[in-house]
Amino acid sequence: MDLAAQLHLPLERGRAAELRCLHLGRLGRYADAVKAAHEALPLLQGADQRSERCAVLRTQALAASESQAFETALGAANELVRLARDHDASAALDAAMALAACFERMGDPWQAERVLADALRVHGPNASNWLNLAANNSLCVIGIGMLHRLLDSQADDAELQSLLVHTRGAAERARDLLEQLPNPAHRVPILGNLAEVMLHQGDLAGAGALLRQVLELAQQHGLQAHAWRMCTSLADWHLAQAQPEPALELALGVIKEMGAIRQQQTLIRARRSAYRACRALGRFEQALQHLEVAEREERRDLTKKMRAQSELFVSRAEAQQVQWQADDARLEAQQQRQRAAEAAASAERDPLTGLGNRRHLERRCAELLPAAQRELRPLALAQLDIDHFKSINDRFGHATGDRVLTLLAQLLQDGMRASDVVVRQGGEEFVIVLPDTDLSAATDVCERLRERVATHPWSQLGGPDWQVTVSIGLATAPPYELAPLLETADAALYRAKRGGRNRLCV
């Protein structure tokens, strides 16, 4: 990080800061990891640093949850949720995992399990293998937390066994993914969680062997937080084997090594293991001391969780109020945009036929003509005029004339592509722009239009012998300019009129 700062390499400095934060989290130095995350996030603001920023936020949420800095944890998790919007399934699953960790550590594992299980079901099939591994391992951690709470409350055995089955399933799914991601930082917690579930299921032989294997791996790679946890699980394993002396030695070793490092859950478990071992050895005074410390730590832990949940409740209420206000503002802004769009569209629309007007023609050609010129693509423009339209108005009235204009507009639209432009330029004159259409294709289009108009049953409007026809003048680019194209098409239209009408001139 220092070298990158000296060399003015912000991307490398941000990447180093992310790795430092992740490393501290894996070492179990959660308070240091939270501090490192605060330092790293300002260095990861670029659009190309989104994945690194998400990794730091995930570590910050998990580390802050472990160290009971719940406000920081929730802030990081909610930022992850915000970043996940409009992104892929991996981002959504990542955010759900961080949020679930916050809920679990705040004392609501049931909410945590619901959030993460739903996210895995919806996003898991499209998320990365690593996130599926991490999410299943998190489900296992949540299940173990629920298990300890149910054990303390002397829950029904059927409920405990059902929870153990589901938790072991999550642990085994995570383990199966390890073969594709052989990393000790993943292997230690996943196999350690599986071993703890096996211990609670009564598989003492399998649990003991796996716990020793994981403890050795954690110590080998310096993953101290996990090593302490494995020692407490091994203490519980010895107690299940009616071996209180090695259990007490392991529990006291963890308590001594942890010192001032606040890993609340592991410390409470170690104290309870020491209490049970001392009681089994008949050392009742020492047992009472360990029990009192464990109870005191649990009360402190519970107080923090209750305070955090209270703050979260207030924050949610305030957030809901803000959300309602934001929704109202967004709705109003949307309505304003819609009114503005409708006004803009109305300004470019012919009120009688619903086609575009001259303003619409000029705007669309300002887009189409330069694009066609850059790539030398063909483009055609046709001017169309209703033959003897004045006599229609004079003979049948303006209402009938308007009806002719409306029906003709519909005929023109029915024969056009979505990319074509059809406008009423004024009176009985229409303009058609055909992008990516050469002279031969444009001639075919205009001839079909002329024939469709001539064969339409106009007699429904004016009598059995009444017919409406059009004359068309066609021009093609280059030039890629509206005025010359209109002038050329108008000249061709004039020749069609002089040549007898109901015809196309190019």
pLDDT of 472-495, one tens digit each? 999 999 999 999 999 999 999 999
CA neighbours within 13 Å on the CB side: how many for 384?
26
Residue 31: inside a domain: yes
pLDDT of residue 318: 45
Residue 271: inside a domain: no
Provide the token pair at 53: 């920023």
Of 15, 9, 18, 13, nearest to 1 by C-alpha is: 13
Q: What CATH code is carried by the domain that includes residue 407?
A: 3.30.70.270
Helix/strand number for the chain, H first, E second: 21, 5
Taking residue 74's Cβ as centre, other Cβ atoms within 10 Å add up to 22
Residue 342 confidence (pLDDT) above 80: no
Q: Which residue, 86, 109, 139, sits at the end of a domain?
A: 86
Provide the token pair at 289: 């001391």
Residue 40: inside a domain: yes
Q: Which of 54-58, 142-146, 184-188, 274-278 has the highest mean pLDDT?
A: 274-278
**Domains in the chain, number:** 2
Please tell me the least confidently modeled range out of 253-257, 371-375, 411-415.
411-415
Q: What number is the average pLDDT over the span 326-335?
A: 60
**Rounded Cα–Cα distance for residues 460 and 465 (Å):** 10
For residue 56, count CB atoms less than 10 angstroms from its CB and return exposed for 0-12, middle for 13-18, buried for 19 or more: buried
Please tell me the least confidently modeled range out of 182-196, 209-223, 378-392.
182-196
Residue 322 confidence (pLDDT) above 50: no
Residue 152 confidence (pLDDT) above 60: yes
Q: What is the DSSP letter of 154?
A: T
State the residue range of the domain holding 493: 358-505
pLDDT of residue 344: 62
Residue 458: inside a domain: yes
Q: Are 400 and 462 in contact (CB under 8 A)?
A: yes
pLDDT of residue 316: 47
Q: Which residue, 39, 60, 86, sits at the end of a domain?
A: 86
pLDDT band for position 315 (50/70/90)?
A: very low
Please state, for a pLDDT cut of 70, what percent of the chain lies above it. Answer: 88
Taking residue 98's Cβ as centre, other Cβ atoms within 10 Å add up to 28
The three-state secondary structure class of 349 is strand
Please tell me the least confidently modeled range out of 8-22, 31-45, 152-166, 191-205.
152-166
Residue 307: inside a domain: no
pLDDT of residue 308: 61
pLDDT digits (tens, 9 = 90+) for 201-211: 889 999 999 99
Residue 343 confidence (pLDDT) above 80: no
Higher-confidence position of 59 and 51? 59
Q: What is the DSSP letter of 477?
A: P
**Rounded Cα–Cα distance for residues 305 and 322 (Å):** 25
Higher-confidence position of 208 and 465? 208
Higher-confidence position of 373 and 418? 373
The three-state secondary structure class of 435 is strand
The C-alpha angle 40, 44, 50, rounded to 5 degrees, equals 125
Q: What number is the average pLDDT over the span 263-272?
A: 83
Q: Are 133 and 190 in contact (CB under 8 A)?
A: yes
Higher-confidence position of 128 and 460? 128
Q: What number is the average pLDDT over the span 499-503?
A: 92
Please tell me the least confidently modeled range out of 22-26, 150-154, 407-411.
150-154
Residue 100: inside a domain: no
- Asked if residue 42 has a cis previous peptide bond (ω within 30° of 0), the answer is no
Q: Give the ranges where 183-283 is alpha helix by DSSP (H).
A: 184-200, 204-220, 224-240, 244-258, 264-280
Residue 317 confidence (pLDDT) above 60: no
Q: Which residue, 62, 86, 110, sits at the end of a domain?
A: 86
Residue 394 confidence (pLDDT) above 70: yes
Q: Which of 240-249, 298-307, 397-406, 407-416 has the highest mean pLDDT?
A: 240-249
